[in-house]
Structure 1
Amino acid sequence: MVVTYLDSWFTTVSTICSCGLTTIDFAQLSRASQLVMMGFAFISGFAMSTLPALIIKAQTHKTTQGTNVDDDNEKCDLGNDDECEASNTRWDHNLPSHVRAELARLPTPVKLRYRAYIMCIVLILGLYFIIYTTGFIAIGTWLQTHSSPQYLMQNNITLSPWYISGMLTLFSFNQNGLTPFSTSLTRYADDVFLNIVLVLLVMSGSSFFPILLRNVVFLSRRLAPWRHKAIFDYILLNNHHLSTLLYPTLQTRIYFCVTIMLYSMGIGISLILDLNSKDLQQYSPGIRFIIFIFQTINLRFCGFQSFDISLFATATLLVYLLLMATKPQMLCALDESPFEIYWLTLEAQAEVDAETNNNKRNTSKSLPLMLQRAFSMTPTTTTDTSLFKQMKGFLRRQSLVTKELAKKELSKSIDNEKTNPKRSKRIKALRLRLFLIHFIRALFKHTFDFFILTRTWLFVFIFLICAIEYRRMSPADPDITLLKIIFEIISAFGGVGMSLGYPNKTTSFASILSAGSKVILIATMLMGRHRGLLAS
């Protein structure tokens, strides 16, 4: 099998980005190449890719000097743990000795965050091991005992059920959507048990992993000795500040409800529009329902196909586009800082009003300024690119300089108001200059936000692919349509790997596109993988 450099690059990026789009038949690759791709998929998985950051943070907080990063040690001497412990127990000399001995066994603030990071790493790896082992044994045992040899056949060779199990477990949990079969999982469309296990693996590795991890923390806290409960309480309290896989309780519930709602919408639309499709007549109504569940859940993150989705109704495919582009994680990134600051300000104002009944006018006037300063301290959407930072800093400096000049000119104008009632030309020029600076800053910010944060660049990429492929598109080739191009772009951006395909091709629709279009899809997969960095 001859593999070009571009196809190799495309497949590697697709595997690392947990996408699953392919321009070559993955099943035709050698065993060594498949194992290499499996290794890439493992280390770049949804949860595994967060471990290096946790390890670095844990190493940083291993020594007391590292706690300066998060100021966990409060006012204790950073160079002496014994002094910290002494200061923490100085107030409880009146307690019984056995109580003081038990309190001394609790972790100090200096050690608490370090142990929390270590515990997060242990829990994530433990959850990984349990899910992988359970899925591997369940699929392997089922294939070995219930699948006939023709269901394990590829290239006239009967594959080991345990090799198939390992690949399906890995690529389903990490949402790669790759299989050792050229026809994906169409041969197992009527295998209810295998479909259910794969659905659970896909959901465990994507939508439900934060939910599972948080419940594991709750369970561990309940089972742990009392002196270790403080570590789990600290994890639950700081959640997202420790690991990006942990959300607060409210956001986790919202995440769960929104995920179920999206799944239900996709399944419901499929049942309404495609249940009686002539292309599904070979399957019983129960198997059709299983196919709809399997395709909808895989459409959210993974790229497995047990049925050719290009045969579904166009309205169903449009709903699938929406499901691929929508991620419920955005609802779990709710920033509660503005509300908390606002509430604390109101509480402070109430205390002041209760203690002092005068100066209410000054307090009410200063409150908006306090709120404005408080809200200005909250994180806003910025960019990480140095060029944009330099441009923003330059415009800000020009704005400050212009404001100072305007203040001086206005003060002079007020002092000379009797002799010179009209504004000077210099004040008008400064006003115009300040207006232009504000206008440029707003235009620059809104243009960048509109193009990057609103995903406008996706439409630019769609336009570029259409421009590159316009000579080959319908009606020249009725199988190269705008819908297929849009579907491929959204699938690449969402890291799904689902494709409408091309007749007589076992690979994705991207395989018949030109080199320029493939490069654009590679860029789309990379930007989709790191979509949160620009808004972080």
Structure 2
Amino acid sequence: MQDISPERRCTRKKSCFLFKYLKNIFESVPPILYDPYCIHVSYFAAISLVGLIPLRFSPTKSKRYLNVLDAFYTSVSAATVSSLGVVAMEDLSHFHLVVMTILMLLGGEVFTSLCSLHLARIRLRLRIRLQRSNLHHNSMNSTQMLELHRYQSTSDQGKSTTHLDQYLHGKDQMRKESILRPNKAMTGPEDIIDDDLENLEMNGSRNMAVEECHNEVQSDADNVLDDDLEYQALTFLCYLCLGYFLFVQLVGFVLVYIYFCVSRGGERILSDRGVSKSLFVVFTVISSFANCGFTPLSDNMMPLRKHSVLLMILAFQILLGNTMFGPCFSAIFLTLRRFSREEGRRKIYDYIEKNGHRLFADHFFSRRQNMWLLLCAVGFLTIEVVMIFALHWNTVALDGLTVGEKVIGGVFQSVSIRHSGENIVNPQLLSPALLVIYIVFMYLPPYPFYKERRDIMNIKPLSKEESKKWSILTQFEKLVMHDSCYLLIAVILICIIESHNLSQDPLNFNVLAIVFEVVSGYGNVGISLGYNCILFSKMSKHYCEDVPYSLSGKWSTKGKVIIIMVMFFGRLKVIKSSLRRKLFMQNVVSHNF
């Protein structure tokens, strides 16, 4: 078809070529690479491998080098914020600690959520630009059809002969011949009636084509406007998440640094152990906010367990970085929305409030869900505090602490046991009943959402085709694919691999200790019962050396590989649960609308 208005052609040839090139790339990439689960697996694997290099080829304070497996284990533990160790933290150099700080920063939940928002924003921006390019092309075609239709309806038969011949394209040969031979007279009324019917049919088809083209262009324009609003909402969420990420940690840096400047006892503990105050502040605050649990001290926070103010600051960092991130993020958003007076900004806020579960499914919840999270956090914390006080108030585990220090220490230990792993009590001194309770709470996800009732959400009942999926085979597959099944397999394999240690040193290597270690790695907590030579000497008189790190550090190579896989799997469980929530919300929308 000939262009009627060539001045409307795209003059930015380079930009159009770039859009076309990006569109081809966008369409040629396999859909599996867009899967968020695959993206997160690749991300954590990449930063763990990158962190392996400096940890492997940098000497420790004792002038030795970590082997490949221990370096990779440490890198994975920091990247997945698990804090299980195979080397004494005080033996690591300052360069090692800086590398681990970067890995913890990149692997924290808030940072990865920020990256997910930014990637979604970039992908949506590319889609909008491609849609604008297609809309421009379609609108030009629609304009040409309008001009052609207007020209044919206003021009007389003699002047439009040439143009009609160009646009009919041989669709109606007899009509073309009648126009090309105007001197040929029509004989009879039947020829005149047929010619009028042909004109009406051609005009009707042209009108339908123009109307369809208009509808298509209007639909594309509406999609672009909706995507523009969604892009603005994602941009706002990115800035809000970035501000939260920087502000909370900056406040933590300032408060902890001021505390060590005021508290001479805490600064003396760090100087006696050869740890820099500034490095300890940055490392510990980032570790607490990322819920990793590493500290530059080999025995974690036990030397500082009498410093109650420091423990409370770090406890708030732990809560704001994981279990309470969703409710706090929603509270900040609702506060900004309430005090906003700008019309354009309120439009974005309304869009986020309506579509937040789809845009930021990881941490954006409704008010009822936020209330449930608050109740769970307070309830779990109360249970842990009551149990530790009931079982160990007057035992050696809390020996040497005043009443106030016991209360603050018990609260800090209970907050940390969920997903951080910083501890002020030697876990080997705790009773088995409390260890079992800790295993349960470490296994729970940060946001304990499990089943959403279909009748509450007004979702239609399952159809016959959907009900067929609930077969015995399907239920068996769901049972086998459950997380607890993987953990059970890991525990069994480790017990088989470490069978020699289980028989030679049953006080350190026992089933409860192995289950505790596996669940701690899965929950990315990092608390370990450790290895104690006093227990070993009760069973054997052979030489033993205490190790200031996790029990898995004494495992064989195969056992360490299994726990590395468990840490990876545990770090990705949050991504899997958020994808389930997002899929559920999409099902809700599709059923209701």
Aligned-pair CA distance for 1:233: 1.9
Aligned to 1:415: none
Q: 1:492 to 1:63 in 2, by over 3 A?
A: closer
Give the distance between the partners of 2:522 and 2:270, measured in 1 at CA. 32
Give the distance between the partners of 2:368 and 2:424, measured in 1 at CA. 35
- Match of 2:109, SS? coil
Give the distance between the partners of 1:196 and 1:505, measured in 2 at CA. 29
Q: 1:300 to 1:279 in 2, by over 3 A?
A: closer
Aligned-pair CA distance for 1:445: 2.6
Aligned-pair CA distance for 1:258: 1.0
In the TM superposition, 1:183-202 aligns within 5 A as 183-202=299-318
- Match of 1:306, SS? coil
Aligned to 2:324: 208
Alignment of 1:513 with 2:542, yes or no, is no
Give the distance between the partners of 1:79 and 1:496, measured in 2 at CA. 55
Aligned to 1:463: 492
Q: 1:63 to 1:491 in 2, by over 3 A?
A: closer
Aligned-pair CA distance for 1:256: 1.4
Give the distance between the partners of 1:192 and 1:183, measured in 2 at CA. 17
Partner AA of 2:348 in structure 1: I
Gaps of at least 5 residues in structure 1 are 84-106, 346-370, 378-395, 397-437
Aligned-pair CA distance for 1:67: 9.5
Aligned to 1:257: 375
Aligned to 1:163: 279
Partner AA of 1:220 in structure 2: L
Aligned to 1:321: 439
Partner AA of 1:167 in structure 2: F
Contact preservation (8 Å) 1:338, 1:375: no
Aligned-pair CA distance for 1:63: 5.8
Aligned with 1:2 (options 57, 65, 74): 65
Aligned-pair CA distance for 1:484: 0.8
Partner AA of 2:563 in structure 1: L
Partner AA of 2:304 in structure 1: Y
Aligned with 1:372 (options 459, 462, 470): 462
Q: 1:150 to 1:328 in 2, by over 3 A?
A: closer
Deviations 1:113-133 (CA, angstroms, capped at 9, x unpaired): 101000000000001111011
Contact preservation (8 Å) 2:86, 2:552: yes
Aligned-pair CA distance for 1:108: 5.2
Alignment of 1:524 with 2:587, yes or no, is no
Alignment of 1:245 with 2:363, yes or no, is yes
- Match of 1:27, SS? helix
- Match of 1:238, SS? helix
Partner AA of 1:175 in structure 2: N
Deviations 1:288-342 (CA, angstroms, capped at 9, x unpaired): 22221111111101111112122011111111111101125232x6546664454
Q: 1:115 to 1:338 in 2, by over 3 A?
A: farther
Give the distance between the partners of 1:112 and 1:522, measured in 2 at CA. 42
Count of paired positions: 414
Partner AA of 2:320 in structure 1: S
Contact preservation (8 Å) 1:24, 1:511: yes
Give the distance between the partners of 1:53 and 1:206, measured in 2 at CA. 16
Deviations 1:93-128 (CA, angstroms, capped at 9, x unpaired): xxxxxxxxxxxxxx9534211010000000000011
Deviations 1:201-230 (CA, angstroms, capped at 9, x unpaired): 000101111111111111221233331112
- Match of 1:525, SS? helix
Give the distance between the partners of 1:59 and 1:170, measured in 2 at CA. 27
Deviations 1:152-183 (CA, angstroms, capped at 9, x unpaired): 1355x3x3322211111100000111111122
- Match of 1:153, SS? helix
In the TM superposition, 1:289-304 aligns within 5 A as 289-304=407-422
Partner AA of 2:287 in structure 1: F
Deviations 1:228-251 (CA, angstroms, capped at 9, x unpaired): 112122212222211112112211
Aligned with 2:96 (options 33, 36, 44): 33
Aligned to 1:88: none
Aligned-pair CA distance for 1:509: 0.9
Gaps of at least 5 residues in structure 2 are 1-63, 143-223, 533-545, 581-593
Aligned to 1:117: 234
- TM-score normalised by length of structure 2: 0.65
Contact preservation (8 Å) 1:136, 1:166: yes
Give the distance between the partners of 1:154 and 1:462, measured in 2 at CA. 39
Give the distance between the partners of 1:534 and 1:223, measured in 2 at CA. 35
Give the distance between the partners of 1:64 and 1:460, measured in 2 at CA. 43
Deviations 1:422-454 (CA, angstroms, capped at 9, x unpaired): xxxxxxxxxxxxxxxx9xx94543333212225
Give the distance between the partners of 1:466 and 1:334, measured in 2 at CA. 33
- Match of 1:19, SS? coil
- 222-231 or 4-13, which moves further after superposition? 222-231
Partner AA of 2:435 in structure 1: L
Aligned with 2:520 (options 491, 508, 513): 491
Identity of aligned residues (%): 21
Deviations 1:175-205 (CA, angstroms, capped at 9, x unpaired): 1111111221111101010000000000010
Partner AA of 2:376 in structure 1: V
Contact preservation (8 Å) 1:16, 1:44: yes
Give the distance between the partners of 2:91 and 2:347, measured in 1 at CA. 52
Q: 1:372 to 1:307 in 2, by over 3 A?
A: closer
Alignment of 1:233 with 2:376, yes or no, is no
